[in-house]
Amino acid sequence: MDEIPLKLKQRLAQPGLVIAPGVYDMVSLRLADRMGFDALYMTGFGTVASHLGLPDAGLATYSDMHGRVAAMAGMARTPLIADGDTGYGGLLNVHHTVQGYERAGAQAIQLEDQEFPKKCGHTPGRRVIPMKDMVQKIQVAVESRHSKDFLIVARTDARTALGLDEALRRADAYARAGADILFIESPESAEEMRVVSQRFDLPLLANMVEGGRTPVLSQDELISLGYKLAIFPVTALLAAACAVETVYSALKSQGSTKTLPAPLMPFEDLTRLMGFEEVWAFDKAHLQEF
């Protein structure tokens, strides 16, 4: 029998860096879940893109995202960290969101201090709410959860518009408010990441976005800097979009898939991934031929 993964809180208490790939739909969820990662990250950017076909710019509602959390957490054995944006409103909305994500089966929720409508963390034009307002959101989130095993990830987007010192000041306040994990978005160099890591005792999250504002570092580099959790939110989506575009372009130009410039997963492997073997076993056990 497969070993049951540790809860995220337990894993963070152990040595080493927790790597959490971004999952954005149920196929990516199934693929990542079987790989043996310590955690998965339900990316807001990717989930909004795949589910709604829209930019991650405050257009997804609580209902949109809660439905995705429930589907992903309900299928995954691996602990799921779920993007909760700004909590989808005021303090009562934060209360409702935290309890909804926890009931849905996520093991952590990420909440950020952007103004509504929020924007993707590596795009321009982000504005943050007053620090005291976000402190209240974190306090409400902590009070609203049923179990301390459900972790609150506090994210600040202050670095880009207000500078690193303000981002550090806010992270200090969010730690005092009860956050379990600190997420300072968009530091712009490894040296800035070092400054962040030397400031806090709580687990720190590094957001590795290819083409984003923060340098993508190796596992050893992240460990040496003192980070505990690294998310790769859009890596798989970027790869998938590139492969799909390549295949569609070839189909359009050639009129066939007889020769393709990109590799394909064998169809039989995809059927296994999606659970068809269980369907066939059920049919064999319960259906009679007439």
- What amino acid is encoded at 185 in this protein? E
What is the pLDDT, as a whole number, of residue 117? 74
Pull the structure tokens for residue 256.
């066939």
pLDDT of residue 224: 96
Domain coverage including residue 52: 8-240
Alpha-carbon distance of 228 to 15, in angstroms, equals 9
Q: Which residues contact 142 (CB under 8 A, 6 or more apart)?
A: 152, 177, 178, 179
Q: Which one, of 245, 86, 71, lies nearest residue 157 by Cα? A: 86
Closest CA to 73 of 121, 40, 120: 40
* Euclidean distance between CA atoms 287 and 290, whole angstroms: 9
pLDDT in tens, 55-85: 988 889 999 999 999 999 999 999 999 999 9
Calpha distance 90→198 (Å, rounded): 32
Domain with residue 57: its CATH number is: 3.20.20.60
Percent of the chain with pLDDT over 70: 96
Q: Is 261 a member of any domain?
A: no
Q: Do the domain assignments include residue 272?
A: no
37 is a domain residue:
yes
Give the number of other Cβ atoms within 10 Å of residue 100's Cβ: 20
Task: State the average pLDDT over residues 106-133.
Answer: 86
Instruction: Report if residue 246 sits inside a domain.
Output: no
End-to-end, the C-alpha distance of the chain in Å comes to: 36
Residue 118 has pLDDT above 80, yes or no: no
Number of domains, the chain: 1
pLDDT in tens, 187-215: 999 999 999 999 999 999 999 999 999 99
Nearest CA to 57 out of 44, 70, 68, 67 is that of 44
Residue 211 lies in a domain: yes
- Residue-wise pLDDT for 235-266, tens only, equals 999 999 999 999 999 999 999 999 988 899 99
> What pTM was estimated for this model as a whole?
0.93
Please, what sign has the CA dihedral across residues 43, 46, 48, 51? negative
